[in-house]
Structures are given as structure tokens and as C-alpha cells.
Amino acid sequence: MTLPFLSIVELKSALIKGELSAREIAQQTLDRIEQSNPTINAWTAVTQDRMLSEADRIDRLRKEDRPLPALAAIPYAVKNLYDVAGHTTLAGASLFSDRQAAKNDSWAVRKLSESGALLSGMLNMDAYAYGFTTENSHYGATRNPHDLNRIAGGSSGGSAAAVASGLVPFSLGTDTNGSIRVPASLCGIFGLKPTFGRLARSGSQPFVASLDHIGPFARTTADLALVYDALQGRDPQDSFQAEKAIHPVHRLLEHGMEGLRCAVLGGYFQTWCDDNARAAVALAAKALDAQEEVEFPEAALARTAAFIITASEGGSAYLPELRAQPERFEPLSRERLLTGAMTPSAWYVKAQRFRYYFREQVLPLFEQFDVLIAPATPTSATLIGQETMRINDSELSIRASMGMLTQPISFLGLPVTTVPLQTPQGLPLGLQLIAAPFKEEACLRAAWALEKMGIAKAPVAKGLIK
């Protein structure tokens, strides 16, 4: 049996029925990556030996009739800022290419390995996770599988392209200001940025400790929820992790919109986007019976505060290397990082105080509504090399502004599921379904409902895999 574009549930079923062995799944995945990766430039390393060895372990369990773990024989890949034992953690930066290999897997990779998933390799990203386009000057641009002339979004662009191309059913990315939601939107797949502090980050290269999140990409809501469930658990090494009990959500998806109240997020979020994004919001709002519009007061200032925290923490972290080897920095990021390291501390402290204030203003909205709807990006994928986009009669830098609708939400730390819709021009465009802190279940159930109605869908990009 050849490997069609199966979901996690379908792959597991084929494995249990004996239609495919784990070894066959791994080998066919590796063959396809070898064939298609030169076109999209998503993988920066392929972990062939590890993948085959993980597959053989699953086949031994099958042979011995032992229970199979939740993600048995499911291929995946991770953004190249996750530690993978025996491999150098690049974080998209040539600066790190000669540092020692990681001794251990990151928390997330270890959890997925324990769940039986098969690691195929590591994926391209914006250097240091500082960008929204994955136009990496050292490792090359990752191409959008739906239109190879366009960006995949960033910073987790390789992670989104790997899933959108059909090469793996899921991947991991990270999101500081929108780095899961932006590429999910532009590549037309589902993405989950959980609540800040929900999933353990240890063993991943930090960028901005106050804002970094980890999370999965997939082509269905059910797959997204299965991976999210596998990633839950308490990690004593992660001091930023919230002390919350594990709350599996996959089995709850079928409740759909039962008891959920939705509203459209207006103001800033309806102003800074194009007509396609507004039409996508209107379509989802009608389907989810979202009749009211609410606003976040001072959303633009929230974006500014997120920007200042990012610049200051990210820049300060890289200051030793900016002093010691400035010539090895990505030219597009070096002066942005140095500017961040030089910002007055009063700006940073004000931004952190504003974060507290903003949360107190916004959280009461969730007493009236469970899910808020907003575009994930101001527009669909722009061309590789394009510098600016025209939004709200303003010429905006794509590199800085493709995440302007995601930044205020991650600043709040709210959980978001990104759902893929289509523009009339045929390009994908994602929406953010935003819930109250630690209510991942609500935004995933709303995503599941939109998928069941046929409004949100993530078809595999055509023509890449023969």
C-alpha cells in the first residue's frame, strides 16, 4: 500500500489493520521528503536513522501484540530550534551551526517519542525566530507549497510548509508574536498556540522568555488535538509553565459549538486587514452564529508593548554574540537585535506593566463570549522578496507587520486555534479562534465545527508529491 495523505487517525488504523507497517510509513515519508524538499526547502536536516529505528520499535510492539501508544508510527518534524539528541540546534542561525550537538531531546520531542511518533527531521525558520516570512539568508527561503513564488510565513515557515505539502501529518513550531498562526494562515493549515505557560518549553532555544509558546500544526482539528494531548504534562525544569492539570481535549471535540458563544473581534482587527480577510471573518461569524462585535481597548498599544518586550529580551539575550562575532549574524536581524539591547529599561518596564493592565481590560469579555474571531494575517501570502504590502491605505513592512494581528493576542497569552479558509483568488487565509486562558477546548471545538461545516479545510498542496 502506498501512503496517501492520511490523517493521524487513518494512519493509525492502517497500522493496526496491518495495511502498512511503521517501517513502510517511515521509508515512504523519507523518500517523499528526498523528492520534494528541494522544491519547498522546509527541512534543514533529515533524521533518517532515528526515524527508521523509531519505526522498528513500533513494529516490534505490533509483532508482540502489545498496546500501541497514541501516535504510533505517525511521521512528524520539528522547527530547528528544538533540541534533538545528537544534532546541533540551529534556531535558523548560521551563528549556531558549529556549536555542540544537543545531548538530549527537548521536552516536546521526548513526549512525542514516548507517544510513538517518528521524527523525520528539523525544519527551516526565520533566524532566531525573529521574523514572519522564513526568508532565511543563510538557509534559504521556505516556499509556500500552494504557490512556490510566495512566502510560507514565519517564523515557523518550514513547519507549516512540511504539513501543507502533505509530507508529514503534523509538525511542531513555536510562537512568540505569531510564529505559529502566521505560517498556518499563509500555508492553509490548522495551528494551535496554546495558553502561555500551558506546554513545557524546556530544551528549545529561547527567544523571548516572557512571550515564547510551543505548539503543533496539522491538517485537521482532530489531529491537532491528538498532538496537543500528547504534549501535555508537567515539566519541573520549566519555571514558566503554569501549574495546571492535564486536560485532554480530543475526546471533547464532538461537542462542537454546544454551549459556546462567539463574537467577532472588531476595531483594530477589522481595520488592519484586506477585504478577503474581512469576508473570511464574516463567513465564519455567520456559521458560528457570532452576531456581536467586541473590541480590545488599546490593541495597537498592546502590539507596541509586545514589540518592545521582544526587542529588549531578544536583543539582550544575543548581546554577548553581537559583541563577539557580529559578522556571523543574519544581516536582516543584527541591527534589530542590537536596537533591542539598547532600548531604555523604562520602555521595557512600561510594556510589562501595560501587559498586566491590558489583561485586566480584556479578560472580562470572556464572561460574555467563549470564542472571538479575528483574521490571523492582514492578507494572504505575499511574494518571496516583496518588502511591503498595502493595508488600510498604508504601506507596511511585511517582515514586521504580517504578525500585527497576532501580536496583541500572544501578548495576552490567550489560546488560539488558526483555521484555514480560501480567498476567491485561491490562496489560503487563516482566522484566529481565540479563547479565555486555559480554554483550549473552546477554540478547538469551534475549529472542529467550522471544519465539519466544510468552511475550514486544509487540502494538501497539489502537484508536489508524485
Query: Which residues bind to another protein, rule: CB under 8 A?
Result: 197, 210, 239-240, 298, 301, 304-305, 307-308, 311, 319, 322-323, 326, 334-336, 338-339, 341-343, 346-347, 349-357, 359
Q: Is 179 a catalytic residue?
A: yes
Catalytic residue among 21, 115, 120, 155: 155
The smaller minimum CB distance to another protein, of residues 43 and 366, is found at: 366
The smaller minimum CB distance to another protein, of residues 190 and 296, is found at: 296
Catalytic residue among 113, 156, 171, 179: 179
Burial zone of 378 (CB within 10 Å; 0-12 exposed, 13-18 middle, 19+ buried)? buried
Q: Is 312 a catalytic residue?
A: no
**Nearest alpha carbon to residue 249 among 216, 272, 278:** 216
Helix orientation angle between 299-317 and 345-362, rounded to the nearest 10 degrees: 140
Q: In 3-state terms, the chain is what percent helix, strand and coil (to 5)?
A: 40, 15, 40
The smaller minimum CB distance to another protein, of residues 32 and 201, is found at: 201
- For residues 184 and 190, the answer to whether their CB atoms sit within 8 Å is yes
H or E element at residue 150: strand 147-151
| Angle made by CA atoms 248, 251, 254, in degrees to the nearest 5 | 135
DSSP β-bridge partners for residue 394:
391
DSSP class of 79: E
Q: Shortest distance, CB of residue 339 to another protein, whole angstroms?
A: 4
The smaller minimum CB distance to another protein, of residues 405 and 421, is found at: 405
Q: Shortest distance, CB of residue 411 to another protein, whole angstroms?
A: 9
CA of 249: how far to CAs of 254, 279, 443, in Å? 10, 30, 11
| Residue whose cell numbers read 474571531 | 373
Q: Shortest distance, CB of residue 364 to another protein, whole angstroms?
A: 16
Q: Shortest distance, CB of residue 197 to another protein, whole angstroms?
A: 7
Beta-strand (E) ranges in 33-145? Answer: 43-46, 75-79, 118-123, 135-136, 140-141, 143-144
Q: Shortest distance, CB of residue 210 to another protein, whole angstroms?
A: 8
Catalytic residue among 21, 36, 79, 401: 79
Q: Is 202 a catalytic residue?
A: no
Q: Which three cell numbers stand for residue 70?
A: 497514541
The smaller minimum CB distance to another protein, of residues 35 and 397, is found at: 397
- For residues 383 and 151, the answer to whether their CB atoms sit within 8 Å is yes
CA of 169: how far to CAs of 4, 117, 219, 459, in Å? 11, 11, 7, 12
The smaller minimum CB distance to another protein, of residues 78 and 404, is found at: 404
φ/ψ (deg, to 5) at 257? -85, 5
Q: Shortest distance, CB of residue 335 to another protein, whole angstroms?
A: 4
Catalytic residues: 79, 155, 179
